[in-house]
Amino acid sequence: MLEYIVMSPMYPTMTSGKIDKYLVGQGDKVIKGSAVAEIIAEGYFTLLSEVDGIVKEFYVMEGDYVEIDTPLIEVEVKEG
């Protein structure tokens, strides 16, 4: 089953952010609460994974600006 790590708001009025750097690569295992990206948006923030699984694909490149709720990383999760 596929899940997505999305651009989450780092503060209440955040509407978009820049992907400064990914901290995981394709094929890496992520766990809920682990750091997956560094985000710039009126400050420097760390985006945390909301799922456990294996990184399959990146939808947004480092250096790109995206709006809140944009899927960034596709993660394969085990069902059950």
Residue ranges per structural domain of the chain = 2-76
pLDDT tier at 79, thresholds 50, 70, 90:
confident
CATH of 2-76, one of 3.40.50.2000, 1.10.645.10, 3.30.1370.60, 2.40.50.100: 2.40.50.100
Write a three-state SS string for the chain.
CEEEEECCCCCCCCCEEEEEEECCCCCCEECCCCEEEEEECCCEEEEECCCCEEEEEECCCCCCEEECCCEEEEEECCCC
pLDDT tens by residue, 9-66: 999 999 999 999 999 999 999 999 999 999 999 999 999 999 999 999 999 999 999 9
pLDDT tier at 73, thresholds 50, 70, 90:
very high
What is the structure's pLDDT at 80? 61
